[in-house]
């Protein structure tokens, strides 16, 4: 973004007014449902949409706050932001209506604040040709220190992956930092299945995706709440196909990474590249042997 | 001999992968094909045998990674 970028400013203004309208529709809708004895419907709507929103919010806002924002401009971490504005204020609002926190809040949602968007950051950076922006790795040594401070255990859970990637870049093997196959995609949220990262971080009991066989088709889910949302309204979701379903179903030809990128409409000029041309990987790494063995 | 897709998870990796294998591949080859996408890409190589299995169990294989 450049100073004087009028189009970008107009875009942001349009988005904000649109979102302001959305935020004014939810509260009266819930109030009306509760007043007319349909609290169960209001609760189901909140449980359903909060989870689906969380999936994308973690991806967009989590990465923006903890990785894409320059270190000197960071205030809260994403987790601190979520704790204050969502876990407290947003939840208080629903309690005021007489609703309960969603059933998955303590067991699934809160633990994800420690790991989910960090896994997505690694995945999006690694599969960067599949996105239309240039992802900033955001893991230069001083940024790693900040991440470890805000998310104790970050280095053990995620730093090792970045170490392998950085080594490949420093030693002239950028091709080893690019994908040759695809991640499995959740049939509900359409985000890659990163449960193994949650398991490795000690926040999930299993690294495996959840599998549901229904009406002759196999569905894969990244999490219990995604499967729950699907099973609440299977007719709504069962006809949807992920990019992997289309790949395996023969809709993407040739069935290669290049074929899939072409199917997505991404030209080489549009595919994501590292935002700093790998400068972060060439910064002198910290010696963590004293604390991380 | 025919290609078929596997959902594959390499221990220590962060994501479940789609990995094409051949229905005639022994488990050692399947393990190598999965490791190809992960070892020295996102997970550092270790000097120990690869082990592979299905969600129902695990069987030893011989390659080292």
Read off the pLDDT of residues B14-46 as tens digits, 9 standing for 90 and up: 999 999 999 899 988 999 999 999 999 999 999
- Per-residue pLDDT, A24: 86
Which residues in chain B have their CB less than 8 angstroms from residue A196's CB?
9, 13-16
Interface with B, mutate which of A121, A165, A177, A193 (most B CBs under 10 A): A193
ipTM (interface predicted TM): 0.89
Q: Degrees (nearest 5) of the Cα angle B34, B38, B39? A: 105
Starting at the earlier edge strand, list the strands of the sheet with B17-22.
A182-183, B17-22, B3-8
Residue A180 and residue A172: Cα distance in Å, rounded?
A: 18
With beta carbons less than 8 A apart as the criterion, state whether A203 and A114 touch.
yes
Give phi and psi for A14, each to the nearest 5: -65, -45
- Per-residue pLDDT, B63: 40
The whole domain housing B29 covers 3-64
What kind and span of H or E run contains B5? strand B3-8
- Per-residue pLDDT, A26: 85
- Between the alpha carbon of residue A102 and those of residues A87, A244, B16, the distances in Å are 11, 30, 27
What kind and span of H or E run contains A217? strand A217-221
Bridge pairing between strands B49-54 and B57-64: antiparallel
With beta carbons less than 8 A apart as the criterion, state whether A196 and A158 touch.
no
Reading the block at residue A107, the tokens are 């067991």
The CATH number that applies at residue B9 is 3.10.20.270
Which residues in chain B have their CB less than 8 angstroms from residue A182's CB?
17-18
Residue B57 confidence (pLDDT) above 60: no
Domain count, chain B: 1
Reading the block at residue B52, the tokens are 């592979």
pLDDT band at B64 (very low <50, low <70, confident <90, very high): very low
Residue A156 and residue A152: Cα distance in Å, rounded?
A: 9
Collapsed DSSP state (helix, strand, coil) of residue A203 = coil
Which residues in chain B have their CB less than 8 angstroms from residue A158's CB?
14
Residue A53 and residue A185: Cα distance in Å, rounded?
A: 17
Task: Pick the more confident residue, A36 or B57.
Answer: A36
With beta carbons less than 8 A apart as the criterion, state whether B56 and B21 touch.
no
Partners of B5 in the β-ladder: B20
Per-residue pLDDT of chain A (293 residues; tens, 9 = 90+): 566 788 888 988 898 898 888 878 888 999 999 999 999 999 999 999 999 999 999 999 999 999 999 999 998 999 999 999 999 988 898 888 899 999 999 999 999 999 999 999 999 999 999 999 999 999 999 999 999 999 999 999 999 999 999 999 999 999 999 999 999 999 999 999 999 999 999 999 999 999 999 999 999 999 999 999 999 999 999 999 999 999 999 999 998 999 999 999 999 999 999 999 999 999 877 776 544 43
Residues 5-64 of chain B whose Cβ lies under 8 A from any Cβ of chain A = 5, 7, 9, 12-20, 36-37, 40-44, 55
The ranges assigned to domains in chain A are 26-239
Reading the block at residue A77, the tokens are 């971490």
pLDDT band at B61 (very low <50, low <70, confident <90, very high): very low
- Per-residue pLDDT, B60: 43
- The CATH number given to A26-239 is 1.10.620.20
């Amino acid at each position: 973004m450049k100073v004087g970028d009028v189009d970008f400013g107009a875009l942001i203004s349009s988005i904000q007014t649109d979102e302001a309208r959305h935020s004014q529709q939810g509260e009266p809708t819930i109030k009306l449902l509760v007043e007319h004895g349909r609290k169960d419907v209001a609760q189901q709507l909140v449980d359903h949409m909060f989870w689906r929103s969380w999936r994308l919010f973690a991806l967009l806002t989590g990465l923006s706050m903890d990785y894409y924002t320059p270190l000197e401009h960071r205030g809260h971490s994403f987790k601190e932001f979520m704790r204050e504005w969502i876990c407290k204020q947003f939840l208080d609002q629903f309690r005021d209506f007489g609703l309960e926190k969603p059933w998955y809040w303590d067991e699934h949602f809160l633990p994800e604040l420690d790991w989910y968007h960090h896994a997505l950051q690694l995945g999006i950076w690694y599969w960067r040709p599949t996105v239309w922006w240039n992802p900033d790795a955001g893991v230069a040594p001083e940024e790693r220190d900040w991440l470890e401070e805000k998310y104790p255990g970050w280095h053990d859970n995620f730093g090792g992956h970045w170490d392998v990637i950085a080594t490949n870049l420093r030693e002239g093997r950028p091709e080893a930092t690019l994908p040759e196959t695809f991640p499995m995609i959740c049939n509900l949220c359409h985000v890659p299945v990163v449960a193994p990262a949650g398991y490795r971080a000690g926040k999930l009991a299993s690294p495996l995706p959840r599998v549901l066989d229904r009406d002759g088709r196999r569905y894969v889910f990244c999490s219990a709440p995604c499967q729950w949302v699907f099973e609440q309204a299977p007719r709504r979701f069962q006809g949807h196909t992920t990019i992997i379903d289309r790949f395996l179903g023969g809709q993407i030809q040739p069935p290669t990474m290049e074929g899939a990128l072409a199917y997505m409409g991404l030209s080489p000029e549009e595919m994501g590249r590292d935002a700093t041309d790998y400068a972060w990987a060439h910064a002198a790494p910290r010696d963590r042997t004293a604390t991380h063995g | 001999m025919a290609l078929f897709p596997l959902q594959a998870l390499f221990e220590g990796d962060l994501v479940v992968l789609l990995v094409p294998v051949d229905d005639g591949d022994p488990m050692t080859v399947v393990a190598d094909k999965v490791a190809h996408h992960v070892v020295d890409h996102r997970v550092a190589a270790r000097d120990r045998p690869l082990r592979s299995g299905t969600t129902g169990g695990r069987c030893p294989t011989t390659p080292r990674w």
